[in-house]
């Protein structure tokens, strides 16, 4: 029997500090009915086999393989349309996966958690026997630099205005859409194309901004982004003053994004908040 | 050999409790505690990795105090918006050796008086800043407080309140004069809502949760009071405005006065026994909205 502490989770070769992970392989079957038969005649395949993998994990600012993957996707369309898969492993089951969604929420007083969802159109590999003591690769090293992202050390934006223009929560989301290209005679796709991707960032604050026109830039709608359009996630150790800890960071760039929605959120017993969502497409 | 008779001990004579720069008189006990927001990280594959911890939550401390009401009621004014610092010092001239807290906010206030006892005040303080030994230069406010404490002389004379010098009056409470009130209490619940923002460990703002609930309880030995009947609600609720005056037993001057409006009876307890008189316990509530 494999317990969680002996079950490795790695994305593109880097161990991530996952709190949950699951892989689901799905057969898309469509029952075929014909005249003359009351029951189904057979179960022909409606689509190819897909493997979907979800991981929830703590974000480390100097070891975040999914942000590296996102950055490669964001740069990707300038080259060609063939998407590049990345190896992902859970409990010794591995496959070449495409990142289809990624999100994290930064909240005050909390360690930052991310959720990533991958899709694989190929055959998974690995020994599926979970009755052994351990599943995974001995070489995977976790929490190499103790660089957890935290609400205490996330600054929106980094120019020192995070107190004057307070942000109560920041949500980051990335979605990508792929199209597997199948050919006659092949069970698995010949290639996988990336169709489109987008980033959405939501800031919960207490200043409402009317949407004035379509295509309004984030820098204009969010007061302290005029000169400094990024959010910086530092590790908790940055509070203790070591130089290295103050240089390790994840940057979330907001420049170039446009406002997609603004909202006022009110309820009994709560402060009235506003939410501004900005979006960038790739 | 260790001589216990000569070993240093801190007794009540060298414990002074200050709120900001003012010494609280009549303090019977103070207890302060905090817990750190430490959570052990558990993650898949962690097997032989070192145990790791991460902060999960904000800093929270609590101070509970009990005091006899012998001069000023130091806590009733703290039921509002304001936060405060607290210092426990061995002596006023040595502010370095302190046990202190910053950003304290009163979360509950209770004032009680009964036959045969001096009136007391109990308070609970939620500490949202620092707690422990705080450097004298921690902040300009701490520095100023500790400097002023060194030159502090009590501003308030003592008022001895005897049960016989307490008056309870007001519209709707007329029958309290002809029935013996054995004890009363005033409880004010002032829950706080600390506002945290990204990039900061301590709350940038602390809100008082409105409406503030006030509960006034009375225990009476019945003479001519008519017990309330539950079916009288909602057509004839028992309500009124209440004033409690505590007078100095020697000068008869009003030392403390509490006034609440729109109190409404919430519960009643009637009891009688072979060993005592018939008693009626009445509990009233009112709410204070945001000004």
Q: What is the pLDDT of residues B107-122, one digit of tens each?
A: 999 999 888 888 899 9
Smallest Cα distance from A31 to chain B, Å: 39
pLDDT value at A191 more than 60: yes
Range of the domain at A125: 4-27+47-281
pLDDT tens by residue, B22-38: 999 889 999 999 999 99
Look at residue A42 and tell me if it is in a domain: no
- Run of H or E residues at A218: helix A218-221
Q: Is A62 domain-assigned?
A: yes
Q: Among the residues of A55-122, which ranges form H helices?
A: 65-76
Residue A146 domain-assigned?
yes
Check whether A5 has a pLDDT greater than 60. yes
Contact check, Cβ <8 Å, A239/B201: yes
The backbone torsions φ and ψ at residue A95, rounded to the nearest 5 degrees and listed phi first, read -165, 165
* A84 DSSP 8-state letter: P
Beta bridge partners of A76: none
C-alpha–C-alpha distance, residues B121 and B161, integer Å: 13
A5 contacts B47? CB cut-off 8 A = yes
User: How many percent of chain A have pLDDT more than 70?
Assistant: 91
Task: Name, in order, each residue with C-beta under 8 angstroms of B286's C-beta and a sequence gap of 6 or more.
Answer: B214, B216, B260, B261, B262, B263, B264
The count of CB pairs under 8 A between chains A and B is 112
Q: Is the CB of A143 less than 8 angstroms away from the CB of B49?
A: yes
Domains held by chain A: number: 1
Q: Is A206 left (phi over 0), alpha (psi -120 to 50) or beta?
A: alpha
The whole-number pLDDT of residue B4 equals 60
B195: contact with A, CB 8 A cutoff? yes
Q: What is the DSSP letter of A83?
A: P
Q: Is the dihedral of CA A206, B212, B34, B70 positive or negative?
A: positive
Which one is predicted more confidently, B161 or A97?
A97
pLDDT surpassing 60 at residue A3: yes
Write out chain B in H/E/C secondary structure: CCCCCCCCCCCHHHCEEEECCEECCCEEEEEEEEECCEEECCCCCCCCCCCCEEECCCCEEEEEEEEECCCCCCCHHHHCCCCEEEEEECCCCCCCCEEEEEEEEEEEEEEEEECCCCCEEEEEEEECCCEECCCCCCCHHHHHHHHHHHCCCCCCCCCCEEEEEEEEECCCCHHHCCCEEEEEEEEEECCEEEECCCCCCCCCEEEECCCEEEEEEEEEECCCCCCCCHHHCCCCCCEEEEEEEEEECCCCCEEEEEEEEEEEEEEEEEECCCCCCCEEEEEEEEEECCC
As a whole number, mean pLDDT of residues B51-77 equals: 90
Q: What's the rounded Cα separation, in Å, for the pair A54 and A102?
A: 10
Distance CA A204, CA A261 (A): 12
Which residues of chain A are within 8 Å of residue B54 when distances are taken between CB atoms?
58, 111, 148, 150, 236
Residue A37 lies in a domain: no
Alpha carbon B129 to its chain centroid, in Å, reads 18
B47 → chain A, closest CA residue:
A5
CB B218 within 8 A of CB B176: yes
pTM of the model: 0.84
User: Which residues does chain A have within 8 Å of residue B49's beta carbon, measured at their own beta carbons?
Assistant: 142-143
With the CA atoms of A212, A217, A220 and A221 taken in that order, what torsion angle do they form, in degrees rounded to the nearest 10?
Answer: 60
pLDDT at A277: 93
Cβ pair B212, B288 in contact under 8 A: yes
pLDDT at residue B104, as a whole number? 95
Report if residue A220 sits inside a domain: yes
Q: Is the model's pLDDT at A103 over the cut of 90?
A: yes
Q: Which of the pair, B163 or A156, is modelled with greater confidence?
A: A156
Which 3 state secondary structure label does DSSP give A133? coil
Residue A251 lies in a domain: yes
Where residue A133 falls among pLDDT bands split at 50, 70, 90? low
| CB-based contact A120:A96 (threshold 8 Å) | yes
């Amino acid at each position: 029997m494999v317990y969680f502490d002996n079950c490795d989770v790695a994305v593109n070769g880097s161990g991530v500090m996952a709190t949950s992970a699951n892989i689901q392989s799905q057969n898309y079957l469509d029952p075929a009915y014909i005249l003359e038969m009351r029951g189904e005649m057979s179960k022909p395949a409606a689509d190819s086999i897909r493997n979907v993998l979800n991981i929830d994990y703590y974000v480390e600012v100097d070891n975040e393989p999914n942000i590296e993957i996102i950055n490669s996707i964001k740069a990707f369309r300038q080259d060609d349309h063939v998407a590049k898969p990345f190896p992902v492993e859970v409990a010794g089951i591995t496959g070449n996966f495409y990142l289809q969604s990624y999100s994290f929420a930064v909240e005050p007083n909390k360690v930052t958690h991310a959720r990533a969802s991958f899709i694989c159109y190929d055959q998974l590999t690995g020994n599926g026997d979970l009755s052994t003591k351990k599943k995974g690769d001995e070489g995977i090293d976790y929490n190499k630099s103790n660089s957890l992202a935290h609400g205490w050390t996330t600054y929106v934006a980094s120019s020192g205005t995070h107190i004057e223009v307070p942000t109560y929560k920041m949500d980051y989301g990335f979605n990508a859409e792929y199209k597997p290209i199948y050919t006659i005679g092949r069970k698995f796709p010949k290639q996988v194309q990336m169709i489109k991707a987008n980033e959405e960032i939501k800031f919960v604050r207490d200043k409402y901004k009317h949407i004035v026109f379509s295509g309004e830039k984030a820098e204009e709608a969010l007061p302290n982004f005029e000169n400094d359009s990024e959010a910086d996630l530092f590790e908790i150790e940055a509070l203790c003053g070591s130089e290295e800890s103050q240089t390790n960071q994840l940057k979330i760039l907001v420049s170039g994004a446009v406002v997609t929605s603004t909202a006022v959120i009110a309820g009994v017993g709560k402060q009235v908040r506003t939410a501004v969502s900005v979006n960038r497409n790739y | 050999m260790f001589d216990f008779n000569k070993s240093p001990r801190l007794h009540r004579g060298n414990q002074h409790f200050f709120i900001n720069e003012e010494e609280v008189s009549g303090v019977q006990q103070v207890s302060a505690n905090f817990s750190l927001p430490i959570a052990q990280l558990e993650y898949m594959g962690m097997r032989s990795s070192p145990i790791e911890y991460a902060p999960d939550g904000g800093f929270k401390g609590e101070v509970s105090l009990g005091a006899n009401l012998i001069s000023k009621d130091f806590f009733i004014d703290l039921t509002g918006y304001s936060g405060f610092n607290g210092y426990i010092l061995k002596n006023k001239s040595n502010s370095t050796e302190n046990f202190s807290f910053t950003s304290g906010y009163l979360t509950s206030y209770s004032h009680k008086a009964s036959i045969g006892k001096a009136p007391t005040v109990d308070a609970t303080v939620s500490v949202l800043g620092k707690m422990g030994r705080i450097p004298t230069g921690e902040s300009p406010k701490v520095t100023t407080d500790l400097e002023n404490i060194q030159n502090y002389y009590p501003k308030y004379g003592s008022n001895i309140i005897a049960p016989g010098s307490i008056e309870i009056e007001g519209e709707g409470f007329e029958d309290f004069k002809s029935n013996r009130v054995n004890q009363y209490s005033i409880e004010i619940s002032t829950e706080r809502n600390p506002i945290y923002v990204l990039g900061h460990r301590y709350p940038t703002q602390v809100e008082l949760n409105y409406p503030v609930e006030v509960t006034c309880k009375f225990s009476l030995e019945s003479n001519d009071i008519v017990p309330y009947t539950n079916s009288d609600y909602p057509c004839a609720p028992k309500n009124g405005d209440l004033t409690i005056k505590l007078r100095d037993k020697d000068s008869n001057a009003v030392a403390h006065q509490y006034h609440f409006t729109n109190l409404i009876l919430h519960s009643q307890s009637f009891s009688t026994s072979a060993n005592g008189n018939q008693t009626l316990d009445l509990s009233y509530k009112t709410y204070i909205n945001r000004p």
